[in-house]
Structure 1
Amino acid sequence: MRDILVALLVFGSLPYIFKKPYFGAVMWVWISVMNLHSQGWGWARSFPFAAIISGVAVLALVTHKGPKKLPLTPVTGTFLAFMLWMCITAIAAIHPEAGYDQWVKVMKIFGMTLVVLMLMKEKEHINAVIGCTVFSLAYYGVKGGIFTIRSGGGDRVWGPAGTFIEGNNEIALALIMIIPLMIYCISLVQNKWAKRGIALSTALCALSALGSYSRGAAIALAAMCLFLWLKSSNKGKTGLAILVLAPAMLMFMPSKWFERVDTVKTYEEDASAMGRINAWKMATNLALDRPLGGGFEVYTPDVFAMYAPEPKDIHAAHSIYFQALGEHGFVGLGLYLLLGFFTWRTGSWNIKHAKPYPDLKWAVHLSTMSQVGLLGFAVGGAFLSLVYFDVPYYIMCALVATQQVVKKELAAKAAAEKAAKSAAAKAAALGADLPLPPDAVQAELEPARVPKRAHS
C-alpha cells in the first residue's frame, strides 16, 4: 500500500511540474529529504523515483519560457568552485575507484541543488521549498517525539534507514536545524489551529532530538536556543517559552540520558570520543601530506595505518570540518568554510535591506530563522560527517533566492519612487507657467480704482 501511495504521488505530480516548474524543486526536496519510498516494504524501495523527478524537473526548466539564469553571487560562485575542486580531488584520490560511487552521488546532489536554485524565483516558490523541507523532516521528528513520550525517554530515536539521517546523531541534528524554520512556518498560516499544530510539532521535534541521546545534538540544541533568543524580535516571549519548555523536556528524560550527556566532560575515558579525535588527527596529517586531500572513501585501514596516531582505531571523520579537510585538503576546507560565510552574509544582507519595508517582513523572518538553523548545523556538524547532507544547501538556495526577490522588490520601489518624484517635479514646473484663474486675469486687466477725494 505504501509503495502504491508513493507511486501515485510521484507520477501524479509530473504533469503539474511541467505546468509549474518550481513544483519540480518541491518534489525533488520531498523525495530527497523525506525519502518516503525508503519506508515502503516492496518494489518502491529501489524504484528510481528520484531520477524520474529530477529528469522531469530539468526538462521542465529547459522547456519553460521563463528565465533560466543561475544567480551570479558569491554563494553560487563558491558553490561551483567547491564542486569543481571535489572533481579534482576525486581524480587525485587515494582510492579513486572506490570513491567513484560517492562522487557520483555528491555530484547528483549538488547538481540538483543548482536546479532547485534556478527554479526558485518568487516568494511563493521559496516558501513552498522551505515548507516541504520542514514537513519532510518534521514527519520523523513528530514520530520520534511521540516515541520518546511512549518510551519514557528510555529508548533512542533513530532516523529512516538508508538515508543521510539514519543515525541517531544525524536525525537529531537535522531536526535542530529545522526547528527555527518551523517557527517561520507558523507565520505563513492564518488558521489558529494550524499555528498550534506547527507549534506542537516543533516541541515534539525538540523532544525527539533529546531522545536521540546524541551528545553533539544536546550541545547544538543549546547553542541554537541561545541564538534563537538573541535573534528574536520579541526576546521576552521567546525567552519565556525556552525557560518553560527546556526544563520540562529535560525533567522528562531518564537518568541514563544525563549520564550519557555528562560523558562530554570525561571524553578522555570515552572510546567513541577518542576514536573521533583519532580520525580528526588522521585527516589533519593526511591533508598536510597531500595538498589535494585523500578524495572520497579514505576511512580505510591502509590510510589510517599511514596517518592516524592509532592505526587500528578506524572511524569516519565525525566532523564536517575534518571531513572536508581529509577528503579535499585545506583548499576544500577553505571553500566549504567560505561557502558558509557567504551564505551567512546573504542572510544578513536580506535582513538589513528588507527590514525597513513591512511587505518584506517575511524575508527578514526567513533569513533570521535560516541563520539560526545554520548555526545549529555548524555547531552540531563539528561532531558528524555531513558535508554532503542536502538540507543545508537547500537553506542556502532559499537565502540566495530571497536575496534576488528582495533586490527585485527594492528595484521596483526605487523605480516607483523615482517616477513619483519625476511626476512631482513636472507638476511643480508646469505649475509655474499655468494661466492665472479667470478672476485673477480680470483683476489684472481692470485699471486701478483711485478713490475720489472728498470736496470741502
Structure 2
Amino acid sequence: MRDLLLAPMLLWIVLRAFRQPWIGVLGWTWLSIMNPHQLSWQLSSLPVAAAIGGATLLGLLITKDRKDFSLGREQIVLMLFMAWMCITLPFSFLFEPSYDLWKRVIKIDLMVLVTLVVLYSRRHLMLFIWVNVLSIAFYGVKGGAFTIATGGSFRVWGPTSTYIEGNNEVALAIVMTIPLMRFLQMQMTGRWSRHAMSVAMALMAAAALGSHSRGALLAIAAMAVVMWWRGNNKLVMAVGMLVVGGALLSMMPAEWWARMNTIETYDQDASALGRINAWWMAWNLAKDNFFGGGFMVSNAAIFATYAPDPTAVHAAHSIYFMVLGEHGFIGLFLFLLLFCLAFGTAGKLRTQGRRQPETQWLSDLGAMLQVSFAGYAVGGAFLSLSYWDLPYNMMAMAVIGQRWMANKAWLKEVPEPLVVLPAWLSRRFKKKPDVALRT
C-alpha cells in the first residue's frame, strides 16, 4: 500500500523537476531528510534520490526559470569545504569506505548549492521550511505520542538506514526543528492552527526526551535559553516553558533520570569516557596528518596508533572532533566558519527584518534560525551529524531570506498561493479567496 502511494508522488516530482527545478529541490529535501522510501517495501532498493537529483540538475540546465548564481560568503565557504574534502579523500586511511561516504556528502552539499540557485521567492522559502519541518515532525510527533503512552520507558529511534537512525541523532534533529515550527506558528493567523502547532511542538519535545539522549537534553536547555532571550513576552514564555518542561520531565521514569545524572559524573561513565578517548584520538591524528584520516577513522588500527586508550574504539559523537579527525584543522576551520557566517546572516535577518512590516517575517525567521543553530552547536558537541542535510538547509534558509530582503522583493512579487487549487475547485470558491493559503 505504501509503495502504491509513494510511487506516483515520486514519479510526479521527477517529471515536474524537469520543468520546474525548485519542485525537484523540495522533493529531494523531503526524500533526503524524511526518507519516506525507506518506509516502503520495494522503493527502498530503487535509486529514487538519484532520479530526483538528476532530473533537478537537468531541469536547472534546460529550463528558463529564474536562477540566481550570485555567490555569497556562505556559498563560497561551502564550496571551499567541498573542495577540501575532495583534496583529503586520496589521503584517507581507509579509502573504499571513505569514498562511499564522500559520494553521499558531496551529493548533499551539491544539492544545497542548487537550492541556493533555484529558490528565490517567499513562496519558495516558506515551502522549503515546511518540507524540512514536516519531514522531521513525522517522526517527532509520533515519537512524542509513543513516549507519553509508554511513560518514557522505551527509547525513541529514527528511521533505519539514515543519518538520524540512532536515538541521539534523531533527538538532535527533533530539537533543531522545534524553533522552525515556532517560526511557522508565528506566521499563522488561525487560532486552532496555532494551538495544533503548540501541541506538535510539545510532542516533539517529549520525543527528544524519550530518546534518552543526554546531548539532546543539553541542546534543549541551550535552545530554551536563547528562545526565551529572543522572545518579546519573557514572563509568559518563561512560565509556559516551565509548565511544559515540568510536565514532560515529571513523567520520565527512574532509568531516564539515572542516565541524565551521568552528565555530572561523566568520568565514571563508559560511554562518555569512550567519546573523550575518541576526541583525543582525533586531535592526535589531525596533529600528525595535515589532511586528516578520511571519512572513516573509527578503526582499531587507527585507535592503536593515536588514542590514549587503544582498546576503546569509539565513534567521536561530536560534529567538531568528527570533522577534525576526518579532514584536519583546515576542514574544521571551514566547517566552523560556514556555520558562524550562517548564524551571523540569521542575526542580520532578525535585526534588519524589523525595519518594515513586509520583512517582519524574516526577523522571526532569523531569530528562530539562531535558536536552531544554538541547539546544533551544543547538541552537536556530543553527536555525529556533521554532514547531515538539515543544518546546511538552515544555512540556505538564512541566505535566501537575506537575498530576498536585500533585493526588496516584496515590492516586485505578486502573492502566490501556496496550494494551487484545481480549476473546478477554484470556481467553486470564487467568492471565498481566503480558501487559498497565501504567503
TM-score (norm: length of structure 1)? 0.88
| Structure 1 unmatched ranges of 5 or more | 414-456
Q: Which residue of 2 aligns with 1:370?
A: 369
SS of the residue corresponding to residue 187 of structure 1 reads helix
Query: Aligned equivalents of 2:17 and 2:167: distance in 1?
Result: 34
Deviations along 1:111-166, whole A, 9 cap, x unmatched?
A: 11111111210111111011110000001001100110111111111111111111
Query: Aligned equivalents of 1:90 and 1:300: distance in 2?
Result: 17
Query: Aligned equivalents of 2:66 and 2:42: distance in 1?
Result: 38
Conservation of the 8 A alpha-carbon contact between 2:68 and 2:118: no
Q: Which residue of 2 aligns with 1:324?
A: 323
Q: Which residue of 2 aligns with 1:388?
A: 387
Deviations along 1:239-296, whole A, 9 cap, x unmatched?
A: 2210211111111111211111001111111110000000000000000101111111
Query: Aligned equivalents of 1:100 and 1:287: distance in 2?
Result: 19
The letter for the 1-side match of 2:268 is: E
Matches within 5 A, 1:180-199: 180-199=179-198
Query: Aligned equivalents of 1:159 and 1:375: distance in 2?
Result: 22
Shift, 1:188, TM fit: 3.3
Conservation of the 8 A alpha-carbon contact between 1:38 and 1:160: yes
SS of the residue corresponding to residue 264 of structure 1 reads coil
Shift, 1:301, TM fit: 1.0
Matches within 5 A, 1:36-435: 36-40=36-40, 42-409=41-408
Shift, 1:18, TM fit: 4.0
SS of the residue corresponding to residue 98 of structure 1 reads helix
Query: Aligned equivalents of 1:353 and 1:200: distance in 2?
Result: 31
Shift, 1:356, TM fit: 0.8
Conservation of the 8 A alpha-carbon contact between 2:349 and 2:365: no
| Structure 2 unmatched ranges of 5 or more | 413-439
Runs of 4+ in 1 over 6 A off after TM superposition: none
Q: How many residues align?
A: 412
Deviations along 1:35-66, whole A, 9 cap, x unmatched?
A: 011111x2111111111111111122222213
The letter for the 1-side match of 2:263 is: V
The letter for the 1-side match of 2:9 is: L
Conservation of the 8 A alpha-carbon contact between 1:62 and 1:68: no
Conservation of the 8 A alpha-carbon contact between 2:15 and 2:55: no
Which piece of structure 1 moves more, 373-382 or 342-351? Answer: 342-351
Query: Aligned equivalents of 1:233 and 1:55: distance in 2?
Result: 45
The 1:187–1:23 alpha-carbon spacing in structure 2 relative to 1, beyond 3 Å, is farther
Shift, 1:232, TM fit: 1.2
Query: Aligned equivalents of 1:146 and 1:411: distance in 2?
Result: 40
Shift, 1:410, TM fit: 7.6
Query: Aligned equivalents of 2:55 and 2:190: distance in 1?
Result: 34
SS of the residue corresponding to residue 99 of structure 1 reads helix
Deviations along 1:75-97, whole A, 9 cap, x unmatched?
A: 11111100000111111222223
1:25 maps to 2:25: yes
Q: Which residue of 2 aligns with 1:13?
A: 13
Query: Aligned equivalents of 2:70 and 2:127: distance in 1?
Result: 19
Query: Aligned equivalents of 1:184 and 1:82: distance in 2?
Result: 29
Query: Aligned equivalents of 2:162 and 2:328: distance in 1?
Result: 26
Shift, 1:14, TM fit: 3.2
Query: Aligned equivalents of 1:188 and 1:353: distance in 2?
Result: 18
The 1:185–1:411 alpha-carbon spacing in structure 2 relative to 1, beyond 3 Å, is closer
Query: Aligned equivalents of 1:170 and 1:284: distance in 2?
Result: 23
Conservation of the 8 A alpha-carbon contact between 2:228 and 2:237: yes
The letter for the 2-side match of 1:46 is: S
Query: Aligned equivalents of 1:94 and 1:13: distance in 2?
Result: 39
Shift, 1:411, TM fit: 10
Conservation of the 8 A alpha-carbon contact between 2:172 and 2:216: yes
Conservation of the 8 A alpha-carbon contact between 2:20 and 2:65: no
Conservation of the 8 A alpha-carbon contact between 2:279 and 2:321: yes
Shift, 1:6, TM fit: 1.2
Q: Which residue of 1 aligns with 2:415?
A: none
Query: Aligned equivalents of 2:158 and 2:398: distance in 1?
Result: 27
Which piece of structure 1 moves more, 21-30 or 245-254? Answer: 21-30
Shift, 1:98, TM fit: 3.0
Which piece of structure 1 moves more, 130-139 or 189-198? Answer: 189-198
The letter for the 1-side match of 2:118 is: L
Conservation of the 8 A alpha-carbon contact between 2:348 and 2:366: no
Shift, 1:30, TM fit: 0.4
Q: Which residue of 2 aligns with 1:424?
A: none
Query: Aligned equivalents of 1:404 and 1:322: distance in 2?
Result: 32
The letter for the 2-side match of 1:9 is: M
Shift, 1:191, TM fit: 2.9
Query: Aligned equivalents of 1:97 and 1:33: distance in 2?
Result: 25
Deviations along 1:310-335, whole A, 9 cap, x unmatched?
A: 11111111100000100000111111
Query: Aligned equivalents of 1:231 and 1:187: distance in 2?
Result: 13
The letter for the 2-side match of 1:28 is: W
SS of the residue corresponding to residue 97 of structure 1 reads helix
Query: Aligned equivalents of 1:85 and 1:67: distance in 2?
Result: 30
Query: Aligned equivalents of 2:300 and 2:81: distance in 1?
Result: 27
Which piece of structure 1 moves more, 376-385 or 6-15? Answer: 6-15
SS of the residue corresponding to residue 265 of structure 2 reads helix
**CA-atom RMSD in angstroms:** 1.5
